[in-house]
Amino acid sequence: MTNDPRTHQDPPQHDSPGGTAGSGGQTLKTEKVQIERKVFTLSLRENPRGRFLKVTEDVGGRRDTLIIPSSGLEGVPLP
């Protein structure tokens, strides 16, 4: 995650019980990146099963979310 002026960082937060199914846990770091008309939210999260990256794409009010477990991030070059 970078210091690009198109990004926005949110502080870490804890989810309340009954949050989004399957995502639970604690948010360690969140950044938002706008590319053309799309806004991507990247959240590094952790729950009792481990760490994972939650990527949400928002285009005109329509959201798609992808959950990537930490094992799926191995070998991916991150700055």
Q: pTM of the entire structure?
A: 0.66
**Where do the domains of the chain lie, and which CATH numbers do they carry?**
1-7+27-73 (3.10.450.700)
- The tens digit of pLDDT for each residue in 1-42 reads 455 555 555 555 554 433 444 557 899 999 999 999 999 999
Nearest to 8 by CA among 46, 34, 44, 36: 34
Question: What is the pLDDT, as a whole number, of residue 23?
Answer: 56
Q: Which residue has the higher pLDDT, 44 or 12?
A: 44
Alpha carbon distance 54, 66 (integer Å): 6
Q: Which residue has the higher pLDDT, 43 or 75?
A: 43
| Residue 14 burial (C-beta neighbours within 10 Å; 0-12, 13-18, 19+) | exposed
Q: Is the pLDDT of residue 48 over 50?
A: yes
